Amino acid sequence: MRDTANLNEVAILSTCNRTELYCSTDGNDSNRLIDWISDYHRLTRATLQACAYEYWNEAAVKHMFRVASGLDSLVLGEPQILGQLKSAYTVAKEARTIGPELGRVFQQTFSVAKQVRTDTDIGANPVSIAFAAVSLAKHIFSSLKETSVMLVGAGETVELVARHLKENQVEKIIVANRTLERAAVLAHEFDGVAITLEEIPTALDSVDIVVTSTASPLPILGKGAVEQALKRRKHKPMFMIDIAVPRDIEPEVGDLDDVYLYTVDDLNVTIKDNQQSRQESASQAEDIVELRVTQFMRQLRELDAVATLKHYRHSVESMREEEHEKAIQLIRGGMDPEEALTRMGHSLTNKILHKPSVGLRKAGSEGRIDLLDWARELFGLDDD
């Protein structure tokens, strides 16, 4: 992409619902980027342009800050996007397509996302069924490391629950499903064990947590089976979350001692409250992003000024060296040193002032009073 689209630097972010190209380029022409994606993925330009968006300079920096902070995600405040951004940065570094310009933006982006996570509660409360279920389990069990879990079903929600559980280092995962093959695929991904629905009653006493999410029209787990499991467990408590609609677990199971049963309705109440909380936190996060964008753009402008100063200093140093060498030659040729130094001073002054003088005269002739005022400020001249 860098070579084909003639870019200076580039990184590619690709997630389940976004593809973004972060580029450092000499021009503001996005057509070559569209052309590259079109060729690479064999898509028409019309298809791409219908869903494409672009940001430049300060707007691009703000967009990256918002993306990393979870402010531009389908699920407000979700944390996965930051890890995906870091991965995109690592891949680009390994490919040697990131240099100082994009590298500086990425480092600031990570810093802003960290501040948003630290200073606001935007990611503190779960807003997905899967994440809420696991968070609830963490409230019941102080640590999930020594717990065993049974997941009933093998759909997308159960897979997300399994992923969150694995991140919390659960000791054992059993996946129960109507078709053993599908259960085996999911169990293998998370180092678990696969069983059929018929085997649930015999395996139930070996788990501390049960999460169900199937499409069954009738309950899969009844009060009798849970009672028998509790007896075999010597009434060691069980935590159950039924996130299926209609229910997978008979409501009467919740009447049993030593069973904590929650349904999708319980989780939805929590999620609704948490979504409101995240909206309030998002406002604080937006303020942080705005402030950090302003600070970062100021830093960039300061870096531009430093580069200009270095260039100007180098120019003046060259003049000084040239005039110094002339003065040395004049003294060696017999000129009085004091006269040679005087000449050097006059010549150096004229050379340093030549270009500013030409520019100021032009500003005066064009009526650029603002530029003349700025020059007085720049050179430290008072009105007198």
* Buried b / exposed e along 156-180 (16+ C-beta atoms within 10 A): ebbbbbbebbbebebeebbbbbbeb
Show the DSSP H helices in 195-335 as ranges. Answer: 200-203, 223-232, 264-332
| Paired strand residues for 260 | 239
Q: How many CA atoms lie within 13 A of 141 on its CB side?
A: 23
Taking each helix axis as running N to C, give the angle between helix 80-94 and helix 100-119, from 0 to 180 degrees, rounded to the nearest 10.
Answer: 160
- The yes-or-no answer on residue 51 being catalytic is no
Rounded CA gap, 119 and 281, in Å? 9
Rounded CA gap, 361 and 277, in Å? 61
Catalytic residue of the set 16, 46, 74, 381: 16
* Residues contacting residue 135 through CB under 8 Å, at least 6 positions apart: 126
Amino acid at 8: N
* Residues contacting residue 32 through CB under 8 Å, at least 6 positions apart: 4, 5, 6
Q: Is 97 helix (H, G, I), strand (E, B) or coil?
A: coil
| Paired strand residues for 259 | 238
CB 88 within 8 A of CB 13: yes
How far CA 247 is from CA of 47, 224, 231, 277, 337, in Å, comes to 42, 16, 24, 28, 102
Rounded CA gap, 62 and 260, in Å? 45
CA 203 from centre of chain: 41
- 274, with CB counted inside 10 A (0-12, 13-18, 19+), is buried
Q: How many CA atoms lie within 13 A of 282 on its CB side?
A: 18
Which residues carry out catalysis? 16
